[in-house]
Amino acid sequence: MKPIRVGTRNSPLAMKQTTIVIELLREVHGDVAIEIVPLVTTGDRLLSVSLSKIGGKGLFINEVEQALLEGSIDFAVHSLKDMPAVIGKGLTLAAIPKRAVPSDCLIFREVSSISELPKNARIGTSSLRREFQMSGLRKDIQVESIRGNVGTRLKKMEEQQLDAIVLASAGLERIGWFDAPTHAYQQLDVASCIPAVGQGALAVECRADDFQMIAFLRKINDSLTELLVTEERAFLRVLNGNCEIPVGAYAEKTDGGYRMSGFLGDKELKHSVTQTVEAASITGVGKKLGEVLLKELGEDSR
C-alpha cells in the first residue's frame, strides 16, 4: 500500500506542524504510513518584499493547493492564519485540530518588557495588523518590515539592531523555542493585541471530492476550535480580508457563552476600530461584527 502523501511548506515550523498532525492521525488510526512532501511557495521565495505589496496570504498556499488539485499530494497542512477567507475551488478544510495559544509575542533584543524599550524603539514585523497594534501599545514605536522563519527573523533582529520583533506565540511553542528562549520575551494579551484570524490553529486541507480522505482526516478535528475559527473566518470574509488591510479577530468560549473581538484598520494606518461582543451563541456573530466594524471604520475615516 502506497503511503499517504502530505504537502507542506519547506520551513522548520511548517514541517513541525505537519509532524504534529501526523502524530494526531496516528493516535487515532494507528501506525499509518504517511510521507511528507515539502514544497516551496512564492511567499517563501520572496522574503525581501512586504506581503501586502505582493499578493498577501495566498502566496503561502498556492503551490501547495495546486499540488493537491493535481493529485501529487493527498492532503496538506497549513497555518490557518495563512488561509484566505475563501478556500480554493475543489478543496475543503477537512479538519482543524485543537487550537494552540493564539497570542502574539514580542521578543526583545536587549530589554525584557515593552515599558523598557527605548524611545522610538524599532520593532520588526511583516504584518499590517501588528504594525497598527504596536503603535497602539506605544505611540513612539517605529515598525520595520521583516520576514522569514523564526531563526531568520531573530538573526535579522541582531543584524539590523532592531529593538524587538513580533511573532505568533503558537509557532514559537511548536518549535520548542519557549523551552530554551534565546531572548527575553513578552506574550501580548489578546484583548490589547487582537490576533490574526485563525492564529494558533492548523488547517488540514484535501480535495473536496475525496470522501475517504475527508473521513480519515476528520477524526482529528476539534469541534470547538472549528466553531470558533469559522466565525473568525466569516468576519474575514465580510472584510474581504487578506494581507492588504490590518484585520484581526478572536472568538472564545466563556463560562456564560461566547466572546468575540474584532479589529479593523485602514490601508493608510490612520484609523482603526475595535469591538468586543458577548453572546449566548457564537453562530452568525462573525459576519455581524465584520459588518459593524466596516461601517464604523467608514464613518471614522471621513
Residue 30 CB partners (closer than 8 Å, separation 6+)? none
Return the ∠ at Cα 252 (arms to 8 and 84), rounded to 5°: 35
Of 48, 13, 11, nearest in space to 174 by CA: 13
What does the block give as the cell for 155?
538573526
What's the CA gap between 252 and 198, in Å, rounded?
A: 11
Longest Cα–Cα distance in the chain: 63
What's the CA gap between 261 and 37, in Å, rounded?
A: 36
Contacts 24+ apart (CB under 8 A), 241-245: 241/85, 241/197, 242/55, 242/56, 242/57, 242/58, 242/84, 242/85, 243/51, 243/52, 243/56, 243/57, 243/127, 243/128, 244/52, 244/56, 244/128, 245/128
**Contact predicate 17/8, CB 8 Å:** yes
Catalytically active residues are 82
What does the block give as the cell for 269?
494606518
**Contact predicate 228/281, CB 8 Å:** no
What's the CA gap between 130 and 166, in Å, rounded?
A: 8
H helix or E strand, kind and range, residue 229: helix 223-238
